Structure 1
Amino acid sequence: MADVRSMCAIGLRGQLGLRGGLPWEGRKEPEFSADVARFFALTRGHVLLVGPATKSSIPAFAYADRTVVGIRSGDDPASVIAAFPDRVVYVGGGPAVWKSYAPLIQHWDITRLPYDGEADRWFDPAWLTAA
């Protein structure tokens, strides 16, 4: 069975996204740079299941040392994950993806960043206890 995890960063009020990207995209402060580096370090060698917008934002270098799989809203989450037995599988891609996959996620790794600005996508704490 796969070890299913999710890793995300949220702003001070739970902000996740803005216009299809990260609300803090391009910020150079150490906390933001460290979060991106940590994401790529921890997902190295593992499977990364992502929605279309997230997949389009993954840099080319990341494909060399992780298995990146695009997922769609019509996919059955259990079937997608079953394709990767005995692997660590990270689920990413925003609210629609997390709402569908939350009942299967065994470990949430959430970083709170010092961002308190605009957003149009928000983290839902109910995902943490979905069954």
Structure 2
Amino acid sequence: MSRSPVTLVVARASNGVIGRDGGLPWHISADLKRFKALTMGSVLVMGRKTFASLPGLLPGRRHVVLTRDTGWQAAGAEVASSVDDALALAGSAPISVIGGAEIFRLFLPVAGRIELTEVLRDVAGDTRIEDPRDGPEWHETAREDHSGEDPPFRFVTLERA
């Protein structure tokens, strides 16, 4: 069986912020629609706190929660204790890694694509990630600007070189 394709799906402010108080520090309707379109039919991989931040199980997607807590469980969630466990649970289905910051860091080495929403301003928050383009292994393959919105943002697709 071939390994599942892994895509990181992340929204990140100019200063690296991806979250505040367990949620997103912005509301961008177009980003939520894109998130749904990108992840529908895939296996969502996330940390426990990200799972808790969801409004409920997201229809049309399996939920795999990566946690060190061997006793953790939740209705509708499959539990993985490592990247390899999550990949094995997914089988050959596409994987969408949706957060948080530590989960993004763990899956970055096995990801083939990043679907990035860049919020084009500095935003206050308590969870940050580095810009994935800081390394030479990623190149931009698509960009869609929404600079006239509030907040301004752009959708960027990055592929591993």
> Normalising TM by the smaller chain, what interval?
0.7 to 0.9
Listed as ranges, the gaps of 5+ residues in structure 2 are: 70-80, 138-161
| Structure-2 separation of matches of 1:76 and 1:3 | 17
* 1:68 corresponds to: 63
| Percent identity of equivalent pairs | 28
| Structure-1 separation of matches of 2:20 and 2:49 | 12
* 1:45 corresponds to: 41
| Structure-1 separation of matches of 2:11 and 2:31 | 8
User: Which of the pair has more CA radius of gyration?
Assistant: 2
* 1:90 corresponds to: 96
Which of 109, 114, 125 is the matching residue for 1:119?
A: 125
Pairwise CA distance, 1:116: 2.2
Over 3 Å counting, the alpha-carbon distance change for 1:103 and 1:90 in structure 2 is same
Over 3 Å counting, the alpha-carbon distance change for 1:44 and 1:128 in structure 2 is farther
**Larger displacement relative to structure 2 (83-92 or 119-128):** 119-128
| Structure-1 separation of matches of 2:120 and 2:6 | 27
Q: CA RMSD in A?
A: 2.2
Contact 2:57/2:63 (<8 A) preserved: no
List per-residue Cα deviations over 1:33-87 (Å, max 9, x = no partner): 100111012111110011111112223361x311111111472202221222221
Judging by fraction of residues, say which structure has more helix.
1
Contact 1:108/1:128 (<8 A) preserved: no
| Structure-2 separation of matches of 1:127 and 1:72 | 27
Query: What one-letter code is carried by the residue in structure 1 that aligns with 2:7?
Result: R
**Structure 1 residue 100 and structure 2 residue 106: aligned?**
yes
Aligned partner of residue 90 in structure 1, secondary structure: strand
Query: What one-letter code is carried by the residue in structure 2 that aligns with 1:91?
Result: V
Listed as ranges, the gaps of 5+ residues in structure 1 are: none
**Larger displacement relative to structure 2 (68-77 or 105-114):** 68-77
TM-score using structure 2 length: 0.68
TM-score using structure 1 length: 0.81
**Structure 1 residue 6 and structure 2 residue 8: aligned?**
yes
Aligned partner of residue 21 in structure 1, secondary structure: coil
Over 3 Å counting, the alpha-carbon distance change for 1:39 and 1:120 in structure 2 is same
More relative contact order, 1 or 2 (CA 8 Å, 6+ apart): 1
Pairwise CA distance, 1:119: 1.4
**Larger displacement relative to structure 2 (92-101 or 4-13):** 92-101
| Structure-2 separation of matches of 1:98 and 1:73 | 16
